[in-house]
Amino acid sequence: MSLFADLTWRGLVNQTTADEHLPQWLNSGSRTVYCGFDPTSDSLHVGSLLPVMLLRRFQKAGHRPIALVGGATGMVGDPTGKTDERKLLDADSLRTNVAGIRSQLERFIDFGDGKSTSGAMLVNNFDWMGGISYLEFLRDVGKHFPVNIMLAKDSVKGRLERDSGISYTEFSYMLLQAYDFVVLKRRHGCDLQIGGSDQWGNITAGIDLARRMDSVQLYGMTCPLLLKSDGTKMGKSEKGAVYLDAAKTSPYAFYQYWINLADADAGMALRFLTELAHEEIEALDAQRIAEAHKRDSQKRLAEELTRLVHGEAGLAAARKATEIFFGAEIENLSDSELTEIFADVPNKQLSPSILAGEGLPLIDALVESGLCKSKGDARRVVDQGGAYVNNRRQNGVDTKLTTAQLASETVMVLRSGKKNYALLRFV
């Protein structure tokens, strides 16, 4: 199946500037395609994964991808989809964010040795925008940009209709992104820009500018935004955005996000974000309808995406953490790992001196943790075989807990019954 046919099957083609011509054009030779990434953070998030995977698909089909990190446009901020003006970042923050995004993109697309004409390219638009004066930009670029066209773009119209309006700074963003397309065509022969559906106005602005400045024909294609069936953005959890950086969202939390995805969203996520074959995705669709309780789609999705983003080691850590939460014995973990796994369970801080000498009675520990209301309640739990320390059953009511029972440097995990957890921190 051709690239365009695969993208269409997956539902990844939202709009193109040449519906009839683009599939044949893509199939007739290797093309150079670019996508821009806004450096508002030092890590990409789940919403960014969709365009990243698009670049990866283009490269695997024989095309050359360019990932553009907006060191210059990031100083202005894209008004698209925003009701208020973004907070402007300083130069140091932008440099940090650009470096972080660079390192992440290398996990998904092959940049080769940096010299090969077949490897992907990573560019920063500050490299060509940083040296242009305001007067030069107005004279050489601005004069080719009709204001009426800018006012007709949805990203501008939507803001003009609000009381907050739009600043001249954000109004100018479209010119900067449009000029990026012109530069990439001149320097690297880039003919196609891709992005989310909210970028349609910016993409077509670049195509129009290139036609006016250089009399060349460029192309654009957008994909749908990564939205859940209820219309909200995918990749948002109770704790905020789900990032691709393990320091911001652990492999376990990342894995759990996909495990807990609603059935109504699983099929779309499998098509949009994985490279699974059509036949396997369709089989998972059928299984989801017939035996939804097994959550095979979500398990496969979590496995594929965690491996892709965090590697085999990250996937193994996520699986281990999941097994621990569901009863596997706990050992060789750090305080931070346990805190992540049991982020939503009650915890209490005690003095480490309590573990010295004869130690802390198990009965007292169950009460201190809040798992039992009284010592009598705690004795009944132990007698009935429902008391666990680090997921190991404790059978004696006279058991004493010492530093030997710590699951990590300072944390002990207590459990009552099958699902009731609590942490004791000895610091």
- Which residues does the annotation place in the binding site? 34, 173, 177, 236
Radius of gyration (Cα) for the chain, nearest Å?
27
DSSP string, 237-256: ETTEE-BSSTTTS-HHHHHH
Bridge partner residues of 361 (DSSP)? 400
**Under 8 Å CB-to-CB from 357, ≥6 apart: which residues?**
none
Longest CA–CA separation in the chain, Å: 86
Please state the residue numbers annotated as binding site for L-tyrosine. Answer: 34, 173, 177
- Separation CA 281–CA 300 (nearest Å): 10
CA gap 401, 413 in Å, rounded: 12
Q: Which residues are annotated as a binding site for ATP?
A: 236
Continuous segment of H or E residues that includes residue 97: helix 91-105
Residues 6+ apart with CB under 8 A from 371: 378, 381, 414, 415, 416, 420, 422
- Phi and psi torsions of 292, nearest 5°: -60, -30
Token pair belonging to 238: 């109770």
End-to-end CA distance of the chain: 60
Task: Identify the sign of the CA torsion 174, 180, 183, 185.
Answer: negative
| 37 touches 94 (CB < 8 A) | no
d(CA 210, CA 339): 53
- Closest by alpha carbon to 423, among 364, 353, 339, 337? 339
- What the block records as the tokens of 305 is 């995406």
- CA 35, 41, 44, 46 torsion: positive or negative? negative
Among 42, 259, 396, 331, smallest CA distance to 387 is for: 396
Give SS3 for 185: helix
Total number of residues shown for the chain: 427
